[in-house]
């Protein structure tokens, strides 16, 4: 007769219904309640984004020089692992930008200076001289991006033409002439750019230097008008993004109110873990209360957008967690996936459309190893998210222990939902039951008499037959949070001899079993049987 029926109870609960808890031998039972009535947010299909920066090898932090040849100007575009790592996302958004973008000029016939790379100079702004992007390198980059299928956002120099008296505040308008030469060259060559972003960390108080909101709005309007002219007759046109800085409610509010028809995306940066030299980074990452703190940024930005007449959406344009290049054996190790995936889940719940991780490669926080290009643990976390978490975001709340972080989305490229569960506890295994608010339909698979599938709706308390779910359990090698090797369902994730990214295969389990989240582990659980109104 084939597969028999597997019986599973699904309860439709009301808000405030208490979870069943028990604790014995390091096991806690808890419940995640998913509200399936309507989505609370909607992310871009290519939500996952990573940055490539301009830092030269001489960039050092706290006595450590961690950038090597990972700059946009010098990274090895012939490396097969690099190519395959990007292609695996199909597509991966890549934002080209960072601190030195506001000291970068672009080779052109109008440029009245030699096209030289950045050089370290302590007396210069940001510690480096002006650098230049040769058009030959720009050609190489675009050939690589086209081959890899990457979606490119380019950060433009927003300090060009301004005077910078002492005190950090700039004066004068942005001079768009050099940017115009780059954009015109790019359009004439037929290179596809998803968006042009103006400036890096110049908003609010700025980092080293700042631009007033009114002035920034005027400059953004100039960029918008220039892009409209250059791409006349081209659809869709590249997005206009700004300001690529840290959220400041007053500054962002003024800026948004003056760019209502010129701005497509408002970008902000996140480094909520503090400096990379902080010896307490891991403690912060494992502290649920500390992680919760960043929710205020997302909530306040969402409120600022809603109170403005703008149609712009929010992106995290750069997020490295720990600034000044991160910290070795922390921001490139398994433990960082706790922070990173929590950020992806949290930002999605506040309707963030795209999240750009600093960095794809370079520093101590790269998704890829700076010298070998081998994926670090966060690369696989990002890829799993990209493959499993669909556009519609569901409200999810967990009862049972404060050490579980829970997020839910409609599934991607399939029906059902995907749960993300993060266990920040070092000793306690959590057995998770799933409950739903709202109308629920479940799909059952039958193999007898030639019947394959049927969809039925069940009132409260009725038994239903379901089949299986797909679990993806992430753990560090040897249980070491500082390991740079990640295991998926107990198997080491590593590229093969040809530089191919390994397939991310689930463990197929009986749907009647509770989802078991081991200490210091991460679980993605795809439940294809669950069909919610929010996912139709």
Length of the chain: 536
Q: What is the pLDDT of residues 104-135, one digit of tens each?
A: 999 998 888 899 999 999 999 999 999 999 99
Q: What is the pLDDT of residues 331-370, one digit of tens each?
A: 999 999 999 999 999 999 999 999 999 999 999 999 999 9
Quick: pLDDT tens for 294-329.
Answer: 999 999 999 999 999 999 999 999 999 999 999 999
Of residues 201, 235, 433, 470, which has the active-site annotation? Answer: 201
Query: Which residue is catalytic, options 107, 197, 294, 318?
Result: 318
Over the stretch 391-422, which tens digit does the pLDDT of each residue have?
999 999 999 999 999 999 999 989 999 999 99
Q: What is the pLDDT of residues 37-72, one digit of tens each?
A: 999 999 999 999 999 999 999 999 999 999 999 999
Q: Which of 382, 384, 378, 288 is nearest to 333 (CA)?
A: 378
Percent of the chain with pLDDT over 70: 90
To the query of whether residue 124 is one of the catalytic residues in this protein, the response is: no
Alpha-carbon distance 134 to 217, whole Å? 29
Report the pLDDT value the prediction gives residue 443, as an integer from 0 to 100.
Answer: 63
- Position 33 scores a pLDDT of 96
Mean per-residue pLDDT, 79-85: 98
Which of the pair, 437 or 96, is modelled with greater confidence?
96
Alpha helices in 264-376 (DSSP H): 281-285, 288-292, 295-306, 336-349
272: nearest Cα among 304, 303, 318? 318
Per-residue pLDDT at 123: 94
**Whether residue 201 lies in the annotated active site:** yes
- Helices 213-230 and 177-189 sit at what angle, rounded to 10 degrees? 30
pLDDT tens profile 175-229: 999 999 999 999 999 999 999 999 999 999 999 999 999 999 999 999 999 999 9
Instruction: Supply the pLDDT for residue 15.
Output: 30
166: confidence class by pLDDT, cuts 50, 70, 90: confident
Residue 263: what pLDDT? 98
Tokens of 29: 């039972």
Task: Name the 3-class secondary structure at 169.
Answer: strand
Structure confidence at residue 462 as a pLDDT band (50, 70, 90): very low
**Straight-line distance from the first to the last Cα atom of the chain, in angstroms, rounded to the nearest whole number:** 32
CA separation for the pair 362, 359 (Å, rounded): 6
Token couple for 386? 């990209």
State the pLDDT at residue 449: 35
* In contact, 269 and 319? CB cutoff 8 Å: yes
Q: With CA atoms as reference, report the closest residue to 401 among 33, 35, 31, 34.
A: 31
The rounded distance, in Å, linking the Cα atoms of 357 and 350 is 17
Contacts of 83 (CB under 8 A, 6+ apart): 144, 147, 148, 499
Q: What pTM, to 2 d.p., does this model score?
A: 0.93
Check whether 442 has a pLDDT greater than 90: no
Q: How far is it between the farthest Cα atoms of the chain?
A: 82
Q: Which residues have CB under 8 Å from 197's CB, separation 6+? A: 95, 97, 153, 154, 155, 156, 241, 242, 244, 267, 317
DSSP string, 90-121: SS-EEEE--GGGGGEEE--TT--S------B-
d(CA 461, CA 28): 24
Residue 124 φ/ψ, nearest 5 degrees: -85, 155
Average pLDDT over residues 255-284: 98
């Amino acid at each position: 007769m084939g597969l028999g029926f597997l019986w599973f109870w699904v309860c439709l609960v009301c808000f405030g219904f208490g979870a069943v808890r028990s604790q014995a031998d390091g096991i806690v039972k808890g419940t995640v309640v998913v509200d399936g009535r309507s989505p609370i947010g909607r992310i871009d299909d290519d939500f996952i984004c990573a940055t490539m920066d301009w830092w030269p090898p001489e960039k050092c932090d706290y006595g450590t020089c961690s950038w090597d040849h990972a700059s946009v100007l010098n990274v090895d575009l012939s490396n097969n692992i690099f190519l395959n790592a990007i292609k695996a996302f199909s597509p991966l958004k890549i934002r080209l930008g960072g601190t030195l973008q506001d000291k970068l000029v672009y080779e052109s016939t109008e440029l009245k200076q030699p096209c030289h790379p950045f050089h370290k100079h302590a007396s210069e702004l940001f510690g480096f001289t002006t650098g230049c992007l040769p058009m030959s390198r720009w050609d190489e980059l675009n050939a690589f991006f086209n081959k890899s299928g990457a979606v490119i956002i380019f950060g433009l120099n927003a300090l060009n033409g301004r005077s910078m008296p002492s005190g950090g505040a700039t004066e004068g308008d942005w001079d768009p002439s050099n940017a115009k030469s780059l954009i015109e060259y790019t359009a004439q060559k037929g290179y596809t750019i998803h968006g042009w972003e103006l400036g890096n960390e110049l908003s609010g108080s700025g980092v080293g230097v700042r631009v007033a909101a009114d002035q920034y709005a005027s400059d953004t309007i100039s960029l918008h008008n220039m892009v409209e002219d250059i791409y006349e007759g081209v659809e869709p046109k590249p997005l206009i993004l700004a300001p690529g800085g840290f959220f400041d409610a007053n500054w962002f509010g003024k800026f948004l109110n003056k760019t209502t028809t010129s701005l497509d995306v408002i970008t902000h940066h996140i480094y909520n873990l503090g400096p990379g030299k902080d010896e307490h980074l891991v403690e912060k990452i494992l502290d649920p209360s500390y992680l919760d703190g960043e929710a205020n940024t997302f909530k306040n930005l969402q409120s600022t957008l809603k109170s403005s007449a703008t149609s712009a959406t929010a992106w995290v344009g750069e997020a490295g967690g720990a600034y000044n290049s991160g910290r070795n054996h922390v921001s490139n190790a398994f433990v960082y996936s706790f922070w990173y995936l929590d950020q992806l889940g949290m930002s999605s719940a506040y309707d963030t459309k795209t999240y750009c991780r600093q960095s794809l490669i370079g520093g101590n926080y790269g998704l890829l190893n700076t010298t070998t290009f081998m994926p670090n643990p966060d690369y696989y976390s990002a890829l799993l998210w990209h493959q499993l978490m669909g556009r519609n975001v569901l409200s999810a709340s967990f009862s049972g222990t404060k050490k579980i972080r829970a997020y839910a989305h409609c599934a991607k490229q399939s029906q059902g939902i995907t749960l993300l569960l993060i266990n920040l506890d070092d000793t306690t295994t959590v057995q998770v039951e799933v409950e739903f608010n709202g109308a629920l339909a479940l799909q059952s698979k039958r193999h007898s008499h030639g019947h394959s599938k049927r969809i039925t709706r069940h009132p409260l308390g009725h038994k239903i037959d379901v089949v299986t779910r797909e679990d993806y359990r992430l753990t560090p090698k040897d249980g070491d949070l500082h390991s740079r090797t990640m295991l998926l369902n107990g198997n080491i994730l590593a590229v093969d001899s040809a530089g191919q990214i390994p397939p991310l295969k689930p463990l197929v389990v009986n749907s009647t079993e509770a989802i078991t989240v081991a200490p210091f582990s991460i679980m993605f659980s795809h439940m294809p049987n669950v069909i919610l109104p929010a996912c139709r």
